[in-house]
Structure formats: C-alpha cells, structure tokens
Structure 1
C-alpha cells in the first residue's frame, strides 16, 4: 500500500501592522508553527495569497486552513473564502481577548504584558484547533478538512 503524505494544516495570519492585535495574530501563528505544532502546520503568506500566488491558493483549496485575524474586518478569512474556499476554522484576536477578559493590548512592535498574554492564549487556541482538525476521529472537521 502506498504511503500517504502527512496531512498538514495551513495557517493564514493577519498582516495588519497598524493594530497590536495583528502582531498578536502573527506571533501566535509563529509560535504554533515553530514550537507547539512543528511539522503539523505551515503558514500561508496572506499578501502573496491575495496577489494571486497559485501555490498558496492551491494549498488552501486542498488542505484544512485556519485563519487568525486581528480584528473584526477578518481580512484573512474573507480573502481565503474568496480565492480558495471557506477556512476550516478561524480565530479573531479582538474577540478572543474580549471573551477572556484580558487587558487592553498595546504596542505594535513591543507588546505590553496583556499582548504577550494574548499571544499565549491565541497560540493555545490555535494549537487546539490544529489538533481537532488533524484528529481522524473528530467528525466535526472531517468534511471541511477534505474539501
């Protein structure tokens, strides 16, 4: 029987540098990519994706994807849906912060303590979603993950 390639989850993070929440989105995605779910995830470059990068778009069409948006505009989620189909899951940092009752995030280049805490909370949630998507016994994501 042929060996199937390991399934990976694509992460498409916010690129908005004008908001601290965008920084939190990018840092939490990198934390999952390089630390907590290394080898199980890949990042998809949002600017290249939106500019017509066929490799990025093809990956998002054929693999499960999670968008990590900084704010309610949900640029990553809308762009993914427009060019490759609905994301498998998504996180909005501003909603996550509000839902957890965290203090106001400040600092785009140097996050305050609340921002650093938000990175940890978002990375934990993102890692949880990756695990749920990759779990072969979890029917919740099966349809979306197969696309």
Structure 2
C-alpha cells in the first residue's frame, strides 16, 4: 500500500478568501505534509474534460477541498468521476465570515491567514490519514 496516492482536488474560487486558503492548504499537503503520497488535481482542467484528472478520481481516493458551501470541487468530482472519499469545506472549518471575506490574493495574506491555511491543512491530513487506515485494513 505504500504506492497508494490520494488525490486532493481544491476549489479554484477567486472571489473569497476560502478559495485561496483551500488552494494553499492543498499545496501544503502536496509539498510538505504528505509529500510523495498526495496528487493534486486541477479543477479547471477537470471541468474542461481532462481525462487524466477524471480517470484518477475514478480509480483512487479523492479528498475535495472547497472554499465555501457551494462545494464546486465535490460536485464536479461526483458528476464526472463518482463519489469522493471525503471533503473539507473551508467555511465549515474557519467560519463563513472568515472564508467569505474578500482578501483573495496570496500577496495580501498576513500571519493569521497562514494560521488558517495550517488549520485547513490539518483537517485535510486527518481525512487523509483516516482514508489510509481504512485502505490498510
């Protein structure tokens, strides 16, 4: 099972902080927290018909990370590839006021925003570890 990869599909919302936090937390999973065990999927490519993205999501576990309750990443995955293994909704983790605030550019983020990224990344890690344990059983 050490070869198993888990996909993380982040929302690409640009209109609120939740989308930025979702992307940065997903990137942190890929580069630091579950390096070599995580594959990130590109939502715009996925929506445009990217067969490689869609095939991966059909064959491997996928965690979606949505910035808000619209759950665009989850809905797209379930429409084109089937049920997701789990989902993280940034607005559920941080609260709607924080997730829906208008700070959207990573160049405008402050220390407290990076703490939000850490909190969401920790939530993704918990879901990731749960899926891994279930597979190893």
TM-score (ref. length: structure 2): 0.88
Q: CA RMSD in A?
A: 2.3
Aligned partner of 1:108 in structure 2 is 104
Residue of 112, 116, 119 corresponding to 1:118: 116
Structure 1 counterpart SS, 2:69: coil
Gaps of 5+ in 2: none
Alpha-carbon spacing, 1:5–1:53, altered in 2? closer, same or farther (3 Å):
farther
The C-alpha deviation readout for 1:5-47, integer Å capped at 9, x for no partner, is 7111000001011111100000000001100100110000101
Q: How does 1:14-29 map to 2 (within 5 A)?
A: 14-29=11-26
| Structure 2: distance between partners of 1:10 and 1:82 | 16
Between the two proteins, the alignment pairs up a number of residues equal to 135
Q: Which runs of 4+ in 1 moved over 3 A?
A: 101-106, 136-139
Given that residues 17 and 23 in structure 1 are in contact (C-alpha distance below 8 angstroms), is that contact kept between their aligned partners in structure 2?
yes
The answer to whether residue 8 in structure 2 is matched with residue 6 in structure 1 is no
CA distance in 2, matches of 1:137, 1:51: 30
**Quick check: 1:84 aligned with 2:63?**
no
| Higher mean C-alpha displacement, 103-112 vs 55-64 | 103-112
Larger radius of gyration: 1
Which whole-Å CA distance do the structure 1 matches of 2:46 and 2:110 have between them? 30
* Structure 1 unpaired stretches of 5+: 140-147
* Structure with more of its chain in helix, by fraction: 2
Change in 2 beyond 3 A, CA 1:105/1:31: farther
Q: Does 1:44 align with 2:80?
A: no
Cα pair 1:71 1:93 within 8 Å, conserved = yes
1:61 alignment partner, one of 44, 58, 62: 58
Per the normalisation by structure 1, the TM-score is 0.83
